[in-house]
């Protein structure tokens, strides 16, 4: 990772490690583990990416994990607890967005609705599938939802 960070840094690129839930990885599952890795690597080109889907399973508090990440956070994926569009699940987006503002996060916020290409029982879930319908309106609504929460929490700190 140090060598990759050196190479990336010389090219003006940031690498971001992403903690994944225990069902998808046993390398990094929590923000705390990722911070320990970043401390060990000690390279300014190696940072952190967080995804609320994974955080729902591994963190006791998504907001606290964001605060722990602080200025090392360079990419944020906004996903629901069921991996769907923001605003359709159980995520406390006000709390999440307040934490992002608290750490001064200015990086990208991406959406990653997840699909499989085979709905049969027992087929591995980590397979992407194309949507069965045009999701432009759902993506636009989720994007507007996130923007509104980011703006709302920015002014209500």
The answer, yes or no, to whether residue 126 has pLDDT greater than 60, is: no
**C-alpha span between 49 and 107 (Å, rounded):** 10
Which entry of 24, 36, 112, 154 is annotated as an active-site residue? 112
Average pLDDT over residues 69-80: 96
pLDDT at res. 67: 98
**C-alpha span between 30 and 55 (Å, rounded):** 7
Domain hosting residue 91, numbered range: 2-155
pTM of the model: 0.86
CATH number for the domain spanning 40: value is: 3.20.20.150
Work out the pLDDT band at 138, boundaries 50, 70, 90. Answer: confident
- 143-146: Cβ within 8 A, 24+ apart: 143/111, 145/85, 145/86, 145/87, 145/93, 146/78, 146/86, 146/93, 146/109, 146/111
pLDDT at res. 136: 83
pLDDT at res. 82: 85
Angle between helices 31-41 and 62-69 (to 10 degrees): 10
Residue 31's contacts (CB-CB under 8 Å, 6 or more residues apart) are: 19, 48, 50, 55, 59, 65, 66, 68, 69
Closest CA to 29 of 70, 74, 71, 60: 60
Query: CA 17: distance to chain centroid?
Result: 10
State yes or no: is 18 an active-site residue.
yes
Q: Give the count of domains, the chain.
A: 1
Residue 138's Cβ-count burial label (10 Å; 0-12, 13-18, 19+) is middle
Reading the block at residue 85, the tokens are 């569009």
State yes or no: is 133 an active-site residue.
no
Which range in 21-35, 51-65, 77-91, 102-116 is most confidently predicted, on average pLDDT?
51-65
């Amino acid at each position: 990772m140090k060598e990759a960070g050196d190479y990336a840094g010389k090219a003006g690129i940031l690498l971001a490690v992403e903690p994944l839930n225990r069902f998808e990885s046993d390398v990094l599952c929590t923000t705390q583990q990722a911070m320990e890795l970043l401390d060990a690597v000690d390279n300014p080109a190696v940072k952190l990416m967080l995804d609320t889907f994974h955080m729902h399973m591994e963190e006791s508090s998504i907001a606290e994990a964001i605060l722990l990440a602080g200025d090392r956070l360079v990419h944020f994926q906004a996903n629901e607890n069921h991996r769907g569009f923001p605003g359709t699940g159980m995520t406390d987006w006000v709390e999440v967005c307040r934490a992002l503002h608290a750490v001064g996060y200015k990086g990208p916020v991406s959406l990653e609705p997840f699909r499989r290409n085979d709905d049969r029982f027992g087929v591995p879930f980590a397979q992407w599938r194309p949507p069965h319908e045009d999701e432009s309106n759902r993506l636009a609504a989720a994007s507007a939802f996130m923007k509104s929460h980011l703006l709302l929490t920015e002014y209500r700190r």
